[in-house]
Chain A
Amino acid sequence: MASSSTPTTISFLSRKNRFRLFGLTLDDCIRTFFGGNALISVVVLALITFFLFKEGAHFFAQNDRNLRIYRQAGLEYVDFIRTQSDDHTALTRSLSDLRVRTLNELTQKQNRPLAEANAALAGFDAFAGQFSDAVDPLRSLVSDLTEQATEIKTKFIVAGDKQEERNQLLAAGKTAEAGRVQIAVINFQEELKPLLATLPAYREANQAFATQLKAVMATAPTLPTPELQGRMDKFKAHTRDYLATFPAVEHKLETWDYLKPVPFWQAFTAFIFGREWLTASFWQDWYGVIPLFVGSLMVSLVALLLAVPLGVGAAIYVNQIASLGEQRFIKPCIEFISAIPSVVLGFFGIAVLGQALRALSQFTWLSWVPGFPFSERLNILTAGCLLALLAVPTIFTLAEDALNNVPRAFKEASFALGANRLQTIIQIIVPASLSGIISAILLGLGRVIGETMVVLLCAGNRIAIPDFTAGLGVVTQPVHTMTGIIAQEMGEVVRGSIHYRALFMVGLVLFFLSLGINYLAQRIVRRYRLSIG
């Protein structure tokens, strides 16, 4: 090294020998090289955006076709009736829930033996049985129609496959074989005729259903306590509302037209606002991101609720209260926690924490806690607790930095005015560093919402919007998340299928969400930073 540096210095002094490339000196070249490396992060960000779009963008065209066939094959038509039948099922379920409550009341509060209580409920059971049987004619109609509509859809899909086959043959230059591929042309009007011809039958069934329900409702039993009777009255009101919707359904069926165009924006709104994520179903696939988004949000909220007090509290303690020795011990420890890999935490959740929380929820003296007792060991709460442990180091480190940046003079002035340490912390130091603390929390949110392995292993993976009527108890329900669904389903989907593209769209949503959170955090720091001069 030393011997080579001497000639370099000499050649540097003589202008003639200076190395040039495209008119650039060596130093310029080096500079450009380093500059190029610095640009890489910009390039990577651009590439991420580009490739997520490239793989995902075609989703909307495919979803548009998916929705169009839903209408043209009459699936939408059948779903009108199906919804009606499903609503009835929901009513039946609430009735059976009511029975359980009444039985509990009789056996536990009034201390009657089980057989006697069941006998007392015989009238109720007869009522419930009649209520649930009333829907039978409608349901059989639905199952007939389902078969017909599925048949039309299958024909259409087969035709699409054949078309694809022909295109591939043509592309391969095999014109003769391509000509031999038979593509059935589907005349939806003809195909839908038998389906639409069932309208009078539907009217009849509906009429019978309505009269039957009304007759059954007249025989509704009275229940022992006012509270239960109140629930019964509510049920009656629901049933009345339900009956009132019948003409609307009939009207929808009458005016339904398979030719009504599906606007293109619906492919977009069906994704962004869709309340169902249903794949590989025999009937109709739905790609709505809302259940996943709500799942991610719920898990993150629980995690932040736990992590913010702990993280910020620990930061305040270490920065303002703890002795030097404690600081030296705590800081590396928390840094160490941040190094625990998320998959190990996820495994811990499956193996230990889920069981422990469920066992905890079974204690009777804890039954006042909303959502307790629960039986699903993997749920929002389990995942949230573990994510909180992941978020605490992030929040702690950034919040501690923010507290550290408050000038000493602030603190000294506060002490000089006679405030004690707590008053100084709460009223001077924390407000002065609030922007930093808030951005720390936001970055913690970004970390939590993008976390994959913990939620994949511990959130329960049930794709449904959690039931918010349970109040705070909603946190003990299983959910699925945006990150989790990508990790789980990406390995199994067919490349280029609508499902595959839908997963890339979810990734895109996640990407922009994290960019948004990041932007907000930076914005807050810059906007609300105290000008310390």
Chain B
Amino acid sequence: MNAPATAHIFKARPTTARRREKTSFWLFRAATYLVLFCGAAVFATIVVKGSRSVFQAKAPFINTTFFTEAPESLYVFEYQGKKMELGDKAYRAFKAQNPDAATVKTESYVYSAGGIFPCIVGTVLLVVGSMTIALILGVCAAIYLNEYARDGRFIRFIRLAILNLAGVPSIVFGLFGFGLFVLFFDWNVSLLSGWFTLAFMVLPVVITASEESLKSVPKGFREGSLALGATKWQTIRKNVLPYALPGILTSSILGIARVAGETAPIMFTAAYVVRDKLPWDVEKFSDFFFQGVMALPYHIYVVSSKIPQNEYTERVQYGTAFVFLMIVALVATTSIVLRNHLRNRYKW
């Protein structure tokens, strides 16, 4: 192809400005995809290494003990030329059968055998309780701010408080919960303390999300109802909330991801390093609220900082991180998908 010496008259000629534009655009693009790449790298590492301890080659393909057992110590030793890796219970049974096994040099790693069932249960309990509290308080607050309040100094003050509350570090919420619920109310390290601490932490998110969806309900809905003689409350209950509720719930799911992911607030208020009993093993019903639980994020912190890194402990470390990441990712994806779905459904 022998191109003509001069291109078409309207074709863009490469000038310095154009080159500069192109290079900078590539730089911006690189920055964006670098961020995505880093996120993907973290995700992929955890998924690849974690899936080894969660899935297995044989049916049922999922490592059920990991999901149904409590954490145990792992004992590693060589017995009659065979390398044995046994959890706490199995090791004791084995020692009872073969008394000479007690003399063999044994390495032990805490929390490295068994599963993470109590942690999953604890996290679910914490999330359900705290989100219930946060939703009740948050939706009511949002109704007031959006439906009743007239703009004034008082309302601006409340909004300022909400904004500032959103910026308070999570560890400060932990200290606050420790000071108020654990010590002052004397609830000790318990579910109830954790619920309220987490609920207050996520409150700004819920309020903002709820206000957003209340705002998206058209004014005509309210005016029509009021014109027909309904009271303010009847209007809100019958003509505003039903339309806003799906939006409130979906946006609040992101709050769930935040609550489930936080470790610092529950460190001193609700989480135990290890607890033998499951939450429903209580004598009195009221004891249920005043017991500490194990939680996934705190368990990850414990297994990643308190025990050494090696091939035996790696399984529980990556496995726990994988399960936790999957739960949070599932919640976050649900929220994002539902929200996009909702945006397309309601168009007033």
Contacts and interface: CB of A to CB of B under 8 A. Distances in A.
B32 A317 contact: yes
A303 interface: no
B178 A490 contact: yes
Given A27-B233, A330-B36, A48 B31 contact: no
Interface in B165-205: 165, 167-176, 178-180, 183-184, 200, 203-204
Nearest to A518: B167
Interface string B229-253: 1111110001000000000000000
Nearest to A450: B169
Given A342-B261, A515-B164, A518-B164, A490 B267 contact: yes
Interface string B295-323: 00100110011000100001001100100
Nearest to B300: A343
Interface in A417-459: 420-423, 443, 446, 449-453, 456-457
Given A41-B158, A313-B27, A450-B169, A348 B175 contact: no
Given A486-B171, A515-B167, A351 B304 contact: yes
Contacts of A342: 261-263
Given A54-B179, A55-B179, A34 B305 contact: no
Given A40-B141, A443-B167, A486 B238 contact: no
Given A47-B180, A310-B34, A9 B229 contact: yes
- For the residues of B in contact with A, the DSSP-based class is helix
Interface in A150-176: none
B18 interface: yes
Contacts of A422: 17, 20-21, 24-25
Given A41-B203, A47-B180, A347-B304, A518 B46 contact: no
A422 B24 CA distance: 8
User: How many B residues are at the interface, by size bracket?
Assistant: 35 or more
Nearest to A1: B238
Interface stretch (B71-79, B97-105, B144-152, B277-285): B144-152
A409 B49 CA distance: 51
Nearest to A316: B28
Contacts of A321: 25, 28-29
B274 interface: no
A511 B18 CA distance: 49
Given A12-B231, A41-B204, A334-B36, A34 B300 contact: no
B321 A347 contact: yes
Contacts of A54: 179
A422 B17 CA distance: 9
Interface in B125-153: 137, 140-141, 143-145, 147-149
A336 B328 CA distance: 10
B336 interface: yes
B59 interface: no
Interface in A251-284: none
Contacts of B233: 26-27, 30
Nearest to A8: B234
A456 to B, nearest CB: 8
B149 A38 contact: yes
B31 A313 contact: yes
Contact of B175 (A26, A453, A507): A507
B172 A450 contact: yes
8 contacts: A35-B148, A37-B137, A339-B328, A339-B329, A348-B45, A420-B17, A453-B264, A522-B160
Interface of A: 5, 8-9, 12-13, 26-27, 30-31, 33-35, 37-42, 44-45, 47-48, 51-52, 54-55, 309-311, 313-314, 316-318, 321-322, 330, 332-337, 339-348, 350-352, 389, 392, 396, 420-423, 443, 446, 449-453, 456-457, 483, 486-487, 490-491, 495, 503-504, 507, 510-511, 514-515, 517-519, 522
